[in-house]
């Protein structure tokens, strides 16, 4: 690797940081992010973690979040910020760029550099590098596996065999969908070896001691995480049992069932309403060129042919697998999108070299430059303008910014209540459809999270409820309550008296008249300070 190539990839890394780091707290937490934060609370506050084979995915996200939390001095979830959570996927999103330093010999210097650029500026990669979910970790560990495996084929050193195993173990400990990547890797390896017409090449290339070392490292890493570092051995078995749940989920009827071209349409062309046009077509088209290059003898003369063919098959299989699974969420496409980005780097160099003279070559370079600028502009829009707007293709079942209105109103009335942040609050949403409110109300210690109206319980002075329970709640507050015990409730929110939790999901709010009066009498007073320094 030349110093020039190294400097260029490091420059792409700086671009990745510039696009990912600012204003991490700006976008409201997605419901999934808030759920993972709540799961992390047990680990942070009680030092306790148990893998759940039904929900939440693997343990790596939780344990790795301990690092920034401890560095920030946090001991309670109330001391954790959005920055603390989201810096974890940011770190691994940037690592995807840095890992290309180890692939310059395999992809070729030009292809590795352009792949670094595309990784840094891809709108989807930028957006989900700021999402507190497992996907970016899984993509990074998957690429770590590929990089380590390739480096092992180059020098046959034990360290790379062990690192390959460790990354495989981390993949398994991150998310159950790792098995899809495992399958794509295996099939890609088989086809690559068949194309080389040396079926025993892989077996002969791996020393038995190195193979054992790699397997042992992978098993050890996965076991440590799933067993909560040996404190919960049953988690190891649960990591296998979980696939029954996820196989059922992949075919169940739900809001997440989409047709097979869902991901590809989102990548090539997306527009909703009067929103802007979104497209990562430059990556897709260059990836196709990279695939063609991989299948020709002289198309990858600047790179390691078997590696590029492996990446081509791996990306193809991963794209097909994820497209065929009915259950789809946008972040699941990151795995094969990253494969496309690697192929796009190869495709870019292939097209430049394919050009017969200077003019066509300049046209290709101009296309690459304009495509890069366009992707960078979209990356900016996705995260800093349309960050919670449903016209952004990557904003999926996402809370609206009106959730801040809910939090503001609750805090205002808490300032007028004698108990402050111990003020009782009822949150009533069928199906527990109130996330990410638990994150934003984590400072309030007496919140009742309900999925139906409890008629024989006292009502809190402040109530947030789904419209589905409005009738039952009205009955409880007025018809079923004796006249002498009735309390008048007023709307918490301004006209039209509701807010949007997320598109098509409304929240109603009610505040008891005596609390409303108390708040109105102190409009100029500062909100009551939170006890114990918590907020």
Per-residue confidence (pLDDT) for residue 298, from 0 to 100: 80
Q: How does pLDDT run along the chain (535 residues), one tens digit per residue?
A: 688 999 999 999 999 999 999 999 999 999 999 999 999 999 999 998 999 888 889 999 999 999 999 999 999 999 999 999 999 999 999 999 999 999 999 999 999 999 999 999 999 999 999 999 999 999 999 999 999 999 999 989 999 999 999 999 999 999 999 999 999 999 999 999 888 775 455 445 788 999 999 999 999 999 999 999 999 999 999 889 888 776 666 555 467 888 999 999 999 999 888 889 999 999 999 999 999 999 987 878 899 999 999 999 999 999 999 999 998 999 999 999 999 999 999 999 999 999 888 899 999 999 999 999 999 999 999 999 999 998 999 999 899 999 999 999 999 999 999 999 999 999 999 999 999 999 999 999 999 999 999 988 888 999 999 999 999 999 888 876 777 678 899 999 998 899 999 988 999 999 999 999 999 887 554 444 444 444 3
Per-residue confidence (pLDDT) for residue 68, from 0 to 100: 97
Determine the Cα–Cα distance for residues 226 and 242; give it in Å rounded to an integer: 12
How is residue 423 written in tokens?
A: 């003020």
**Residue 469 DSSP class:** G
CA proximity to 156, closest of 119, 211, 78 = 211
Neighbours of 453 (CB within 10 A): 22
Token pair 């696939």 in the structure block, residue: 243
Determine the Cα–Cα distance for residues 198 and 192; give it in Å rounded to an integer: 9
Per-position b or e across 67-84, b if 16+ CB within 10 A of its CB = ebbeeeebeebbbbebeb
Burial grade of 456 (CB within 10 A; 0-12, 13-18, 19 or more) = exposed
Which three-class secondary structure string do you get for 486-535? CCCEEECCCCCCEEEEECCEEEEEEEEHHHHHHHHCCCCCCCCCCHHHCC
Determine the Cα–Cα distance for residues 129 and 529; give it in Å rounded to an integer: 34
Residue 434: φ, ψ to 5°: -120, 0
**Residue 479 DSSP class:** I
How is residue 212 written in tokens?
A: 């054992």
| CB contact at 8 A, 239 and 172 | yes
| CB contact at 8 A, 531 and 415 | no
Per-residue confidence (pLDDT) for residue 265, from 0 to 100: 94
Per-residue confidence (pLDDT) for residue 391, from 0 to 100: 92
Determine the Cα–Cα distance for residues 180 and 186; give it in Å rounded to an integer: 10
Determine the Cα–Cα distance for residues 40 and 50; give it in Å rounded to an integer: 11
Per-residue confidence (pLDDT) for residue 396, from 0 to 100: 92
């Amino acid at each position: 690797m030349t110093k020039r190539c190294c400097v260029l990839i490091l420059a792409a890394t700086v671009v990745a940081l510039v696009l990912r780091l600012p204003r991490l707290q700006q976008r409201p937490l997605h419901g999934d992010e808030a759920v993972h934060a709540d799961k992390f609370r047990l680990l942070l506050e009680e030092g306790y973690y148990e893998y759940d084979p039904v929900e939440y995915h693997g343990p790596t996200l939780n344990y790795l979040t301990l690092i920034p939390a401890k560095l920030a001095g946090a001991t309670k979830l109330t001391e954790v910020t959005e920055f603390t959570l989201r810096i974890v996927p940011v770190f691994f999103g940037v690592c995807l760029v840095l890992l290309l330093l180890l692939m310059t010999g395999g992809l070729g210097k030009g292809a590795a550099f352009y792949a670094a650029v595309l990784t840094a500026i891809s709108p989807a990669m930028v957006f989900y590098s700021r999402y507190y979910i497992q996907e970016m970790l899984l993509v990074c560990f998957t690429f770590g596996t590929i990089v380590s495996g390739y480096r092992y084929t180059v020098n046959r050193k034990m360290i790379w065999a062990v690192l390959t195993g460790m990354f495989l173990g981390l993949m398994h400990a991150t998310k159950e969908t790792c098995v899809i990547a495992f399958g794509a890797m295996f099939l890609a390896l088989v086809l690559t070896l068949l194309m080389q017409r040396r079926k025993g090449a892989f077996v002969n290339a791996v020393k038995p001691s190195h193979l054992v070392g790699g397997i042992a490292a992978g098993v050890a890493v996965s076991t440590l995480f799933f067993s909560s570092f040996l404190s919960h051995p049953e988690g190891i078995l649960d990591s296998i049992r979980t696939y029954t749940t996820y196989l059922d989920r992949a075919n169940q009827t739900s809001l997440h069932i989409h047709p097979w071209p869902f991901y590809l349409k989102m990548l090539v062309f997306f527009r909703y309403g009067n929103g802007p046009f979104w497209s990562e077509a430059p990556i897709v088209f260059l990836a196709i060129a990279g695939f063609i290059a991989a299948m020709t003898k002289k198309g990858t003369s600047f790179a390691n042919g078997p590696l590029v063919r492996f990446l081509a098959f791996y990306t193809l299989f991963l794209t097909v697998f994820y497209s065929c699974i009915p259950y789809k969420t946008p972040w699941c496409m990151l795995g094969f999108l990253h494969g496309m980005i690697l192929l796009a780097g190869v495709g870019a160099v292939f097209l430049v070299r394919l050009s017969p003279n200077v003019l066509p070559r300049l046209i290709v370079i101009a296309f690459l430059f304009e495509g890069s600028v366009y992707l960078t502009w979209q990356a900016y829009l996705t995260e800093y303008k349309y960050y919670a707007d449903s016209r952004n293709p990557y904003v999926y079942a996402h809370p609206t910014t009106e959730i801040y209105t809910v939090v503001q109103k609750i805090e205002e009335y808490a300032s007028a209540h004698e108990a402050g942040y111990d003020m009782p609050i009822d949150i009533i949403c069928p199906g527990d459809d109130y996330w990410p409110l638990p994150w934003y109300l984590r400072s309030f210690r007496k919140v009742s999270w309900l999925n139906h109206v409890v008629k024989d319980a006292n009502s809190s002075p402040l109530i947030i409820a789904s419209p589905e329970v409005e009738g039952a709640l009205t009955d409880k507050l007025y018809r079923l309550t004796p006249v002498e015990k009735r309390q008048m409730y007023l709307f918490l929110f301004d006209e039209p008296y509701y807010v949007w939790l997320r598109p098509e999901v409304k929240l109603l709010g009610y505040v008891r008249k005596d609390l409303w009066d108390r708040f109105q009498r102190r409009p100029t007073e500062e909100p009551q300070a939170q006890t114990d320094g918590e907020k």
